[in-house]
Structure 1
């Protein structure tokens, strides 16, 4: 059904209809561009981070009651009517850890625990094993409030900071997000501070077994026999921690702080992600650093910068996504301005020049970040995901921005593009793929230690990031890069699923991964009749929904079927038709129906709407909703469909 309730068209859209959809979407997206040229949309996760923000205020005794009441509105709104707890994504199943944190936060804001919504949440939590069965990060949060003993958390001594890169448990073998979260957390675990918690809010009622009587806090999940081996090692190490010499302990604390402070990132915060930033705020308080100290002031301001204020509610983002949003919005705007019927190309070019200038200024050219530990001879040249995160440029963002600057065509972009190309070439892993932030970050056994019950301690190569790098390098067309591309294409072929799809590590999910891979094959000149391409096309056709759209839920990360959902979604439908068009199927009836569905879903303001989450941080643990996806991807898809109408080859001539 269309946004106005009418059925979507059964026949191909007329040229006028296509132009109207593109013009309206282009205008709507253009209105969201900031004065300096960039775009930024909200980035939403589950209830955990808004709840953790409330608990952070109570930890510090920096309580803003008016703000917390607005966050409480958000938490109550996102509570599930079906199971009484909180899910990790829209209409998802009960999640114990998220529910415990949300309940704790609501209680801290003054909610009556006997109110119907609190009672339902408590009953659901107890039915699922109680707070003692929450994940490691939640138990650490509870330990900071004195609700569980520190023995409820795995052994993670701060002395880990002293291990060299070649040591198995070295932080340098972990992902960027793990390093930045763990470093201040190790300081907290060493000092074991207790929250001020001025109102003395505790959640003893959420435990099936009183915390002091729980004897087995570490229960997995065990992904192999190694999980049990590491649990045994945890038990052996625990009584030895007190034997570590005090000088070594002090040296380790200093090593942690020496790691953290160069990476504090000003108002963007450590790693520019909420968990690391909040841990730094608590770490400074535990170290006795006054709140008036410039470091503590800036760390607190960085956390505040993640809050999204609305009229009646507030929530806290996990991070912000301006580079990603600007890159993708720029591609969509450029697509709308392309072709014989391009929209106001001169005006669009002016706006894109502003975006390009803003992006060039954000390129990281003078900081060798953590990625350089494994590849010190490569010059910096990437972009971060956030406004500022110089130690942690993102391979995916760099490829997307590089393709945009190349397509946009301003000669001033040339140096930035070449620096990005050289950095991307240097970031290829040994297996031919690319990870998001590091090279060869793939010591899988680390995901079996008790601390890693989320299974996301690493940043190995993935199909979607690899596909983007192929697309970027192929679009540039340097002959000397062909060997790199062949290795990457081999990797991508190996990663194809039996049904023809690709796993989407950073976007939901197999539709996203398959779109990414098909774009890469097209950009690299792989035949549209190649068996891998044909198999992927047939899979996309097979999961199209009866109404003409596509949809996929986060359940596909949890054993659910590939490429299916209870409704069609604008972002998913756009990825599917973009993938099919990259495979040379612009005139396929499946594409025609998908474009018609998108046109029918556009509202009178030129926008699309979707509530389900469309991306992932850590599968099964942490999911994301990019608020911009529902806007720039449909515009990109409909504009490309229109532009290919007049193409002699019907082949997409660039990588994205």
Structure 2
């Protein structure tokens, strides 16, 4: 490996760099809320807005929505091809497009409307409704636009399985669990709600409505056993032979009630919120019931209404955004006791989760102490947020440093007990890794489990190394061994929670730089070479979401501010650790950020660089293109004299 040692011909004007940093700091500070936190928009695709319209139609509460603004939003999101996109510039995705079409029909738009004619043509060109995902078909079945025969069964009695049984609801990922339990009620009752206006979507079946086959697709492998089981489950339900049916439904209802947050939501994400409110409707709850009202209020808090549009976020990210904002401001030179940083740090301290959540079902040793992603999510603190928050708090100086350190220590102790058997860390649970669960027909998004991943593992290790923290035993070595096994042949690492290999590689490099530079120099050099090799000619880095579907596209895409910053952070951290920098690549990347900064001190990017479910759900965090570039510029400024 030959890393550049010579001075780069690409020069950086340090005065311009310092001004860019100051401008970026000012912009980010201007985005801080009075309570001390940051929270940017969490943009995804249109399905959650469409499903919110469906939910209100089912409850008969749609009049409380600004319906004309919802329609305007959906129309604006339609692309030139007639469809709606899963992520920016993907050309349109069939399930997303069908749900948008459904929502516009629910809003009273005629199928003869030019926008819907174009949408129909697009949807039919992709195979029509029969080619959509299970959850799209489920939403259509609720209003009689798809037949329940084509929806897979979920036996309600799984809710009764003991926690130590080889399969139980806690073997599902947290997000799948929160979404599935209410569907134990809905899928088994198979409701068809009467709505106004009444319509069908027969025009969206490419094979013709009379030729539709309501069957689950065969995989031609061992997983087809689930198709046989599905037929058995459906037969037993049809003949009222489901064991413990009433008890199962009651247990599911109680689980939903027990898991509703004080803020009214479930799991801090929209799918469980929608599913739980549908379950309440199936159970004939009154619309004025406090649980129903709190649920709708939670959805309303996830919505964004401006002068002309109304849309719904999948989640809100105040803890996550605040942690990264604090880190970027400190690392770019703001004093640790700056008033804004103190306010943000104290706000974070107050968000620490001190309740036993679902993680404790499998983890009998840990005591609570993590942080969650949202304002309130006491059942599901996560390792990624917790690592970021510990590093953020470590960097700021608060009036009560003893309280801060105690909170950090408590969190680290909890995180240590969440290490998975393979050696890494997962997002929300420990040893939630039964791959066969992803093969059940219901789980066609392939996101039913929460195994350990390289990016989360790297976050924990970076936290330990950068903050001078220790955990007991050989946990660090086990984690390093896990990362060694996860490194790709070309030197990169997969990114589960950010797009994609650039995100994963940068995170692991930052971790190795502070905790294992002496023992992992070959791995780091190989990763550096890979990052440098996929730098774009404009000096930036970018990677398309399609790299999840096609790994040959890894590291390939139009340059974005956030992905350029990730690459730079990884290169800068390893350069500092190894004493040898990829100087030319770094300077070209810095110049890209300087050249693309707006006069307001920020950056703009339309691309989605956050990942919910690989291949199926992506996120555009509106603050990613602000705090990550600021962090990269700040780190470069500190290290520039060494290059």
TM tier relative to shorter chain: over 0.9
- Alignment correspondent of 1:492: 483
Q: Note if contact 1:271-1:389 (Cα within 8 Å) is conserved in structure 2.
A: yes
Offset of residue 210 of structure 1: 5.3
- Alignment correspondent of 2:23: 24
Counterpart check, 1:425 vs 2:416: yes
1:283-338 residue CA offsets vs partner (Å, 9 max, x unmatched): 2222121111111110111111111112221211001011100011110111122x
1:270-291 residue CA offsets vs partner (Å, 9 max, x unmatched): 1111111111222222212111
Q: Which consecutive segments of 4 or more residues in structure 1 shift more than 6 A?
A: none
TM-score by length of 2: 0.94
1:456-504 residue CA offsets vs partner (Å, 9 max, x unmatched): 1010011000000111122343455462111101111110111111110
Distance 1:313 1:582, change over 3 A: same
Q: Note if contact 1:60-1:197 (Cα within 8 Å) is conserved in structure 2.
A: no
Q: Note if contact 2:498-2:610 (Cα within 8 Å) is conserved in structure 1.
A: yes
Q: Distance in 2 between matches of 1:397 and 1:65?
A: 35
- Alignment correspondent of 1:259: 255
Counterpart check, 1:456 vs 2:452: no
Distance 1:466 1:121, change over 3 A: same
For residues 27-106 of structure 1, what are the structure 2 equivalents within 5 Å?
27-64=26-63, 67-81=66-80, 83-106=81-104
- Alignment correspondent of 1:4: none
Report the secondary structure of 1:561's partner residue: helix
- Alignment correspondent of 1:6: none
For residues 405-444 of structure 1, what are the structure 2 equivalents within 5 Å?
405-410=393-398, 411=401, 412-444=403-435
Report the secondary structure of 2:620's partner residue: strand
Report the secondary structure of 1:617's partner residue: strand
Q: Note if contact 1:403-1:472 (Cα within 8 Å) is conserved in structure 2.
A: yes
- Alignment correspondent of 1:605: 600
Q: Note if contact 1:551-1:563 (Cα within 8 Å) is conserved in structure 2.
A: no
Q: Distance in 2 between matches of 1:169 and 1:240?
A: 21
Distance 1:10 1:65, change over 3 A: farther
Q: Note if contact 1:427-1:434 (Cα within 8 Å) is conserved in structure 2.
A: yes
Q: Distance in 2 between matches of 1:65 and 1:302?
A: 14
Report the secondary structure of 1:305's partner residue: helix
Q: Note if contact 2:153-2:188 (Cα within 8 Å) is conserved in structure 1.
A: no
Q: Note if contact 1:268-1:389 (Cα within 8 Å) is conserved in structure 2.
A: no
TM-score by length of 1: 0.92
Report the secondary structure of 1:259's partner residue: helix
Q: Distance in 2 between matches of 1:454 and 1:46?
A: 15
Distance 1:168 1:120, change over 3 A: farther
- Alignment correspondent of 1:340: none
For residues 128-143 of structure 1, what are the structure 2 equivalents within 5 Å?
128-143=126-141
Q: Distance in 2 between matches of 1:397 and 1:268?
A: 22
For residues 284-433 of structure 1, what are the structure 2 equivalents within 5 Å?
284-337=280-333, 343=334, 345=335, 349-365=338-354, 367-410=355-398, 411=401, 412-433=403-424
Q: Distance in 1 between matches of 2:433 and 2:259?
A: 23
Report the secondary structure of 2:304's partner residue: strand
Offset of residue 243 of structure 1: 5.3
Moved more, 408-417 or 613-622: 408-417
Q: Distance in 2 between matches of 1:157 and 1:539?
A: 47
Report the secondary structure of 2:612's partner residue: strand
- Alignment correspondent of 1:520: 511
Distance 1:122 1:487, change over 3 A: same
Q: Distance in 2 between matches of 1:246 and 1:138?
A: 26
Moved more, 159-168 or 535-544: 159-168
Offset of residue 69 of structure 1: 1.9
RMSD over aligned CA atoms reads 2.0
Q: Give structure 1 stretches of 5+ with no counterpart.
A: 1-8, 338-342, 651-656
For residues 152-301 of structure 1, what are the structure 2 equivalents within 5 Å?
152-209=150-207, 214-219=212-217, 222=219, 225-242=221-238, 248-301=244-297
Q: Note if contact 2:108-2:197 (Cα within 8 Å) is conserved in structure 1.
A: no
Offset of residue 169 of structure 1: 4.1
Q: Distance in 1 between matches of 2:224 and 2:301?
A: 41
Q: Distance in 1 between matches of 2:525 and 2:74?
A: 45
Q: Distance in 1 between matches of 2:213 and 2:111?
A: 28
- Alignment correspondent of 1:111: 109
Offset of residue 593 of structure 1: 0.6
1:186-211 residue CA offsets vs partner (Å, 9 max, x unmatched): 11122223223121133121123455
Moved more, 389-398 or 230-239: 230-239
Distance 1:504 1:480, change over 3 A: closer
Q: Note if contact 2:10-2:584 (Cα within 8 Å) is conserved in structure 1.
A: no
Q: Note if contact 1:181-1:279 (Cα within 8 Å) is conserved in structure 2.
A: yes
1:588-626 residue CA offsets vs partner (Å, 9 max, x unmatched): 110001001101111111010000101111111111111
Question: What is the total number of aligned residue pairs between the two structures?
Answer: 629
Q: Distance in 2 between matches of 1:268 and 1:401?
A: 25
Q: Distance in 1 between matches of 2:21 and 2:478?
A: 38
